[in-house]
Chain A
Amino acid sequence: MDSRLNMANNQPNPAFTERLLQLPHGSEVLDCINCGTCSASCPTRNQMDLGPRRIMQMAKLGYDTTVLSSNTLWLCTSCFMCENRCPRELSPMSVIKNLRLMAHEQGKDRWGTGHKLDDLFSLFNESISEYGRTNDCDLAAAFYRRNFRDAVGQLGLVFALRSRKRMKLIPPKPTSIQKTGDMDELFRRMGGK
């Protein structure tokens, strides 16, 4: 058994698989033939603990803590290569998106890259619900205010962009849409969950 997988203490959990099967594309783990085309195609596979293929299989089998603690969930860029090439027309990318939700539901995105994605998404929702839009500099600045250590490494880039007039040091908020009531309507019905 591959020691990297660290499954020794992870008993398969049927409830985990059941939850996954409730989500869109979740049942695709049952149709997966384990061919590995997705892992061979994934641009970030070499940085992942477990490639998309293993994630599909292990999620199906219910290895919840192994799957939800892998870095795989946060390295997917939604580039559609796996979905585009899968011979069974499945979407490992969509299964990973489901696992992100499940990690969020279980509070497993409170640190590291998972937490950063949660930050970004929260900030995005705030801006959209208020203005109907984002300004990318404003969003990035707000993100870096919450992730200060990452910000320090980016100061050179920020100044380079600023001197080329592609970024203001204090970015403006986006110009709001006129019909802000439309955003209230959409968020009331659909969320930002």
Chain B
Amino acid sequence: MPQDLDLRMYPGCGRHGTSMDLYDSLESVMAHLGFTFNELEDWNCCGSTAAVARAGQHELAAALPIRNLAIANQNGKGILMPCSACYHRTLVAQHEYNSEPELKAQVDAALPAMGLSYEGEARVVHTLELLHSMVGPEKIKAAFKRDLKGLKLAPYYGCLTSRPKAINVYSAVEHPTEMDELIELTGATVTPYQSKTKCCGGSLILLDKPTTDKICMDLVEEARANGADAIVTICPMCQMNLEIIQRGDPNAMPVLYLHQLLGLAMGLDEEKDLCLHQSLIPHEGMMAKVGVHS
């Protein structure tokens, strides 16, 4: 009987768009481990863009994610947010609500008209916390069928999952270790990576591509200089930006999600379950290195 860990899945703007491979593959991996999630009822946009575009949107940028939290509470569930931006915005909004009385008053005034109420608490979980803390290394390792020994992987967390300090649930803000531990569980080696939480530019790729190209190239170069075969990440914007910069490069290294890597170790189908055929950079060279031929 599949469990849902008392969590609802939050789709965000990418679920039926450019990061559908993240969500489809996550659902397969989690189903394999015995967990399925329903979608958060009548969820709305997380408001990330409103939070960063310019000042003056503070209330809207908080009210949008708090509506989601209030809905989750009404259903007695927490929320699983695989997108780092959605996750970050929601936790920061929750923190702002709890520490700014004026903001709290304004949001509280809007909730009754929507048939909602909110007490300031709701569980919000990102994929990394889901895998490392809720499912746990033992259960994950027990599902492994392959040893990925010989593979060298750069652990790229991205900038939003462990910042600001106030919302961080991981071992450190700038150099967390939870993804490193899960990578090592597969038998693969984690390469040193100073840029673990250095920004890839995110949506700057739309606004200033040359600048984003530069910073993404630096991120790939560091991984390459440290001997990595591929980059493992937990954020859909990072995954896309680091692939885009390498398009057309014959020496491009794959950029895959942590849960896709774990799925490979579990022996799941690379296409049907893990959606690796939807990546821009082919992964077959990396897999051949550990003796896996599709």
Q: Give residues in A with beta carbon < 8 Å to B.
A: 23-24, 43-44, 46-47, 74-75, 77-81, 83-84, 94, 97-98, 100-101, 103-104, 113, 116-117, 120-121, 124-125, 127-128, 132-140, 143, 150, 153, 156-157, 160-161, 164-167, 171-172, 174-175, 177-179, 181-183, 185-187, 189-193
Contacts and interface: CB of A to CB of B under 8 A. Distances in A.
What band does the interface of chain B fall in when counting residues whose beta carbon is under 8 Å from A?
A: 35 or more
Q: In the A-B complex, list the 6 residue pairs whose CB atoms are closest, starting with the nearest.
A: A79-B199, A100-B54, A136-B17, A80-B163, A121-B53, A79-B159
9 contacts: A44-B204, A79-B163, A84-B174, A101-B55, A113-B208, A120-B203, A133-B43, A136-B18, A179-B114
Interface of B: 13-14, 16-21, 42-45, 47, 49-60, 63-64, 67, 106, 109-110, 113-115, 159-160, 163-165, 173-174, 198-199, 201-204, 206-209, 211, 214-215, 244, 247, 277-280
B202 to A, nearest CB: 5
Contacts of A135: 13, 16-17
B59 A81 contact: no
B220 to A, nearest CB: 14
Contacts of B109: 189
Given A135-B17, A137-B18, A186-B110, A177 B42 contact: yes
Summarize A's interface: helix, strand, loop or mixed: helix
B53 A79 contact: no
A184 to B, nearest CB: 9
A117 B57 CA distance: 14
Contact of B63 (A23, A78, A190): A190
